[in-house]
Amino acid sequence: MPLDQKPVPAKPAESLPGTARTAENGPVPAAGSGRAAETAPWSVRGPGPWTHRDVAANGARFHVAEVGEGPLVLLVHGWPEYWWAWRHQMTALAEAGFRAVALDLRGVGGSDRTPRGYDPGNLALDITGVIRSLGERRAHLVGHGSGGALAWVAAVMRPSVIRSLTVVSAAHPRHLRRALLTDRRQIAAFDHVLGFQRPWIPERRLVADDAAVLAEYLDAWTGPQKLEPAAVDAYRQAIRIPSTAHCSIEPYRWLLRSLARPDGIQFARRMKRPITAPTLHVQGAADPVMLAHTALGAGEYVEAPYRWRLLPEVGHFPHEEAPEQFSEELIAWVRQHKE
C-alpha cells in the first residue's frame, strides 16, 4: 500500500476532517463512494483537473500532480504543506499556457520517506532531478517557505536547469544564517524550529489530537485572510501520514545543528555563488515566521533581473491568502522570462 494511502490512527473516519471534501474544497478519500467512501483511507492524491504520477530522481520516488501544456513551471511547497498548496496556481498557470507541476518533497505527501537525505544540497538535487525526469531540460522554479529556500539552493547548484526563479516567504540562505546567529527577532520568530531540535517529542506533539497544534500554527502564521478550513483539515491529515512528521522537520534540524559544523559552513560558502536566473521574490508584510527584513536584500546574490514584491496584510502563505494576486504576479513573471 503506498505511503499516502495508509490509514492514519485517529478518530473514526466519519469524524475526520476533510473526508467528504470535493475537488475544489480539498482532497477526498482514496476510493469508493457513499458509506464506503466515508471509511476509505484519506489520500493526498485528490481528484481535480490535474493528473497524478510518480517519477524517480536522485535515488528516490516523488509524487507530482500536473496540469496543462507548455513551458514547465515546477511548484515546491513549504512546511507544513504538500503539493495541494498550489491548487490555485496550477489551474491559473494551465489556463495561461504553462505545464504546471506541483511536487511533494522527499518525506512528505506521496513521496518516499527515506532515512537520510534531508540536507539542502540533496533536497535541491531532488528538485532538479525531478525536472529532468519530467523530460525537460529547464523549468521555471517556484518555491515557498522551506521550498523557497531550496529553490535558492537549486539555482546555485544547477543554474542551467532554472529558467526563472520565484521565491516566496524565504530569505536567501546566507541572510537566514546571519539572522539566526544575530537577530533576536528572527530567532524568536523561529521558535517552532528551535522546538524541533529535541528528539521525538516534536513528532509526537505534531500528530497529537489530530494534529491540533498544526491548526494553531497555520492560524498564527496567516494575515487577516485566513486559510480555508478545508486546507487546514488537509494539512492536518497530511502530517499524520506515518513518518511525515519526522521526515518533514529533519531539514530544520539540519539548519540549526549545522550552523557551527563544517558542512554548514561549507554550504554557506557555496551559497555565495551568484544566481543567474531572473528572480521574483515575494514576501508577505505580515509574515510572523520569515520576517520581511530578513528576506529583504537577497538581490545582492542575483546577477539577473530581480524583483522584490512585498504584499501588505499578507502572512506566511501568499499563494493561499491572496491566490489571485499572487497568481497574477507569478504568471506575469514567467511570461516575461519564457526564453
Q: What is the mean pLDDT of residues 173-193?
A: 98
* Beta-carbon contacts of residue 283 (< 8 Å; ≥ 6 apart): 168, 169, 290, 292, 295, 296, 308, 309, 310, 311, 318
Are 166 and 280 in contact by the 8 Å Cβ rule? The answer is yes
pLDDT value of residue 40 = 56
DSSP class of residue 109? T
* Torsion from C-alpha of 264, 107, 18, 34, nearest 10 degrees: 170
CA distance 40 to 5: 9
Q: Give the mean pLDDT of the chain.
A: 90
Distances (CA, A) of 137 to 67, 80, 140, 295: 18, 29, 11, 29
Mean pLDDT of 182-199: 97
Q: What is the torsion angle, in degrees rounded to the nearest 10, for the CA atoms of residue 253, residue 254, residue 260 and residue 264? A: -160
Asked whether the predicted pLDDT for residue 1 surpasses 80, the reply is no
> For helices 262-270 and 120-133, what crossing angle results, to 10°?
50
For the segment 263-294, what is each residue's pLDDT rounded down to a tens digit? Answer: 999 999 999 999 999 999 999 999 999 999 99
Q: How confident is the model at residue 27 (pLDDT cuts 50, 70, 90)?
A: low
Q: What is the largest CA-CA distance in the chain?
A: 57
Q: Percent of the chain scored above 70 by pLDDT?
A: 88
CA distance 130 to 128: 5
285: which 3 cell numbers?
Answer: 508584510
Q: Is 246:203 a contact under the CB 8 Å cutoff?
A: yes
With vertex at residue 191, the alpha carbon angle to CA 187 and CA 196, rounded to the nearest 5 degrees, is 120
pLDDT band at 26 (very low <50, low <70, confident <90, very high): low
Q: Is the pLDDT of residue 173 over 80?
A: yes
Select the more confidently predicted residue: 10 or 314: 314
pLDDT in tens, 112-122: 999 999 999 99
Say what the pLDDT of residue 42 is: 77
Which residues are CB-contacts of 146 (< 8 A; sequence separation ≥ 6)? 78, 79, 105, 170, 251, 252
Indicate the residue type of 60: A
- Can you tell me which residue has the cell 526564453? 339
pLDDT tens sequence across 79-114: 999 999 999 999 999 999 999 999 999 999 999 999
d(CA 278, CA 100): 19
- Contacts of residue 75, defined as CB under 8 A and 6 or more positions apart, other chains included, come to 83, 86, 89, 90, 100, 101, 102, 103, 142, 143
Helix axes 201-220, 244-257, angle to 10 degrees: 90
Query: Per DSSP, what are the bridge partners of residue 55?
Result: 62
Stretch 243-247: mean pLDDT, rounded? 98
CA 31 to the chain's CA centroid:
26
Q: Dihedrals φ, ψ of 162, to 5°?
A: -100, 115
* 109 touches 83 (CB < 8 A): yes
Classified as helix, coil or strand, 175 is helix
